[in-house]
């Protein structure tokens, strides 16, 4: 049985790297590797939420950008359970492209290569697949800079694969685990933009 590509990529990641530094490393690495499974970054189609209708974005907002995230969910063992620390992922506009458009890291924050940034706050979640991290609806708590993420109002994290906390205990308190994941991120802005 072969090891999935994402597991091979993250197996040897250093234990003491800060999440933002890891995200930057992933960004540089994935700038040369094309991901698989995303649609065009500029599709304005609202996503299919299936049984997760509670993640619907309020009326008056529209999808303006879709990104495909490839990275890790970082956890730290507290001696009795795994605590979530941060995501560290590279964002791509399209699976057919091989250049990254930004990164996703603690906050949760999404930052474009151009420097625009949005920090989100979780509004709701839904778990259609217990083997993957939940789907999320997030509101934009703040935006910064000019460019791609300047006018973001809401973000949806959907179609997640992997990323759950490890099922086995850590070796010692403070032990860090980086669990590979992928997700689709849909960014919304007010409909009048």
pLDDT in tens, 152-189: 999 999 999 999 999 999 999 999 999 999 999 999 99
Residue 175 lies in a domain: yes
Residue 130 lies in a domain: yes
Residue 26 lies in a domain: no
Residue 3 lies in a domain: no
Do residues 187 and 149 make contact, with C-beta atoms less than 8 angstroms apart? yes
Residue 129 lies in a domain: yes
Do residues 19 and 86 make contact, with C-beta atoms less than 8 angstroms apart? yes
User: What pLDDT digit, counting tens, does each position of 60-107 carry?
Assistant: 999 999 999 999 999 999 999 999 999 999 999 875 567 899 999 999
Host domain of residue 157: 60-192
Number of structural domains in the chain: 1
Do residues 63 and 40 make contact, with C-beta atoms less than 8 angstroms apart? no
What was the pLDDT predicted at 99? 84
Residue 53 lies in a domain: no
Residue 13 lies in a domain: no
Closest CA to 71 of 145, 182, 167: 182
Residue 54 lies in a domain: no
Q: Which residue has the tokens 């609202």?
A: 46
Separation between Cα atoms, residue 47 and residue 152, nearest integer Å: 16
What number is the average pLDDT over the span 18-31?
Answer: 49
């Amino acid at each position: 049985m072969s090891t999935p590509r994402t597991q091979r990529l993250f197996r040897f990641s250093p234990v003491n790297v800060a999440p933002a530094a890891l995200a930057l490393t992933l960004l540089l690495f994935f700038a040369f590797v094309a991901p698989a499974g995303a649609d065009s970054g500029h599709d304005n189609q609202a996503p299919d939420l299936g049984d997760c209708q509670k993640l619907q974005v309020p009326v008056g907002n529209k999808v303006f950008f879709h990104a495909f995230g490839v990275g890790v969910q970082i956890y730290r063992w507290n001696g009795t359970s795994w605590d979530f620390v941060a995501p560290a992922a590279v964002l791509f506009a399209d699976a057919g492209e091989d250049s990254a458009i930004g990164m996703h890291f603690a906050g949760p924050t999404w930052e474009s290569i151009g420097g625009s940034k949005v920090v989100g706050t979780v509004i709701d979640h839904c778990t259609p697949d217990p083997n993957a991290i939940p789907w999320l609806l997030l509101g934009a708590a703040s935006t910064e800079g000019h460019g791609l993420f300047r006018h973001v109002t809401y973000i949806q994290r959907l179609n997640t694969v992997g990323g759950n906390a490890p099922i086995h205990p850590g070796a010692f308190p403070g032990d860090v685990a980086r669990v590979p994941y992928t997700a689709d991120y849909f960014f919304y802005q007010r409909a009048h933009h």
